[in-house]
Every structure is written in structure tokens, then in C-alpha cells.
Amino acid sequence: MTVPQAAALVEAILPNIESKTSVDVVVCPPYLSIPRVKEITRNSAIKVGAQDVFWMEEGAYTGQVSPKMLADLCVDYCIVGHSETRGRFGKVEVPATTLGHFAETDETVNLKIKALLYQAITPILCVGETLDERLAHRTEEVVESQLKGALAGLDPYQVYGLVVAYEPVWAIGTGETCESNEANRMCGFIRSTVATLAESEVADNVLILYGGSVKPTNSDELFAQPEIDGGLVGGASLEANGFARIVLSAKKPGQPTAV
């Protein structure tokens, strides 16, 4: 969205969700829209995040946005390791020859998380498998590997309060859906994996979101699952009434997060 489009969307969202104070709501606009969205949400409960970040504070990295720049804008959250920045698309809409442009790795995700934590910005870590990996029965292996790579070298206190989003790549923009019980199972798997990498108390405090075609027609069922703390909302967040309906369907006081 352009800056005016993003501003109009957030202004339309605000009246519909201000009364739902038990739900943490974060909007993550493109970089250029962050200042305007921060201004609009200044006196509201809505937090603002970024869609990505570069891990170096400064230097000769033309075109990159550093954690220090995001901190200067008072950004609260930042998405890292999204399937698209990893070059893992559910539905590829760019020439296959250009996929190398999307070259995120577990190492760069790890560097971004550490850089964001240094600036007191909460990372929203995305993990998930492709359709080929699921069909090959490698789902748990892939997700565990992504978690280990992303959290490498972090102390338990740094993991505490982290947000992790399970986004099955095969359910993004493909029309395919992940059944709520399977989404719940994988979110539980993520929590148990975090417990082995950090501590059980830490894992209990980590918010586990589901992100894979979350929409008003399935959010009630998804948020009713015990291991799902909220949603990483994609296309459905671009329509104010639909996004508000998703936020209002979050029933666990103080827990679910709609992004």
C-alpha cells in the first residue's frame, strides 16, 4: 500500500477494535508508511511493527534499513524470517530466475533477532515448511532446524517474550488451508522445541501465532485451539472490517495477537 492507502486502512480499523483491549494488535506497514501509521495510532492500543530489517546498525549497505532506524521511529515489533524473504513462496509470482534475490537464511534471521533485541524491538519470527517438505514428511525437521538456527546463541531471558509465527508456506496464497487441529499441533511442537532450546517457563511465555490464510471465516476456530495464541494475518488484514472481525474473534484475554 501507498502511504495514503495505509493511513486510510488504519483509520478504518481503529473504531472497530478499540474496545477489544484484551487483545494485542500490531500492524506492520511498509517502511515508508511507518511514520504516518505511528501518528494515527499514537493514542490507541495498536502497536506498530516493521516487515523486515537489516542487522547492521550502520555502514555501507545501500538500500537497507537498520534496527537503529526502526528504533528512531519507535517501532515496537518487526517480522523476521518471513517465508517470502527466505524465497519460499506458496505461489510464485516472480520469475524463477529472480528467486535468488530473496536470500534470507537462518543465519541472517539470527543476526536480525539479536540486532532487534539490542534495540528493544520484539522480533516476530516466522517458521514453516513448503509443500514438498510436508509431502516428504519433513515438517517437524524443517521447523525445528529453523528455530534452532534463529535462536542460536540467545540466552533464555532473550527468548522470553519472543513471538513465533508458524506459517506453512503451502497454505499462503494457494487456496490450500491448514486444518485447525494440525495448526494447533504444529504450534504445540514449536512451543515444546523452544522449551528444549531455552526453558519451559520461557516457552510458556512465548506467543505462538498461526499464519496461513487466516481470515474471518476461520479465525474463531483457529483461536479456540489451546496452543494458538493468535494470528499472523496476511491478505485478510487489507480489508478493515474483515481484520476487525479477526481481532474480535480472539477470545483469550491478554494473549492472542492479531498482526
Cα of 43 vs its chain's centroid, Å: 23
CATH fold of 3-258: TIM Barrel (3.20.20)
d(CA 134, CA 178): 12
Q: pLDDT tens digits for 241-251?
A: 999 999 988 86
User: pLDDT tens across 45-76, in order?
Assistant: 899 999 999 999 999 999 999 999 999 999 99
Tell me the per-residue pLDDT of 177-207, one tens digit each, with 9 for 90 and over: 799 999 999 999 999 999 999 989 999 999 9
For range 15-36, the mean pLDDT: 88
What does the pLDDT read at residue 196? 94
Catalytic residues: 82, 167
What is the structure's pLDDT at 255?
52
What is the pLDDT confidence band of residue 107, given thresholds at 50, 70 and 90?
very high
pTM over 0.75: yes
The model's confidence at residue 164, banded by pLDDT at 50, 70 and 90, is very high
- Residue 172 pLDDT: 82
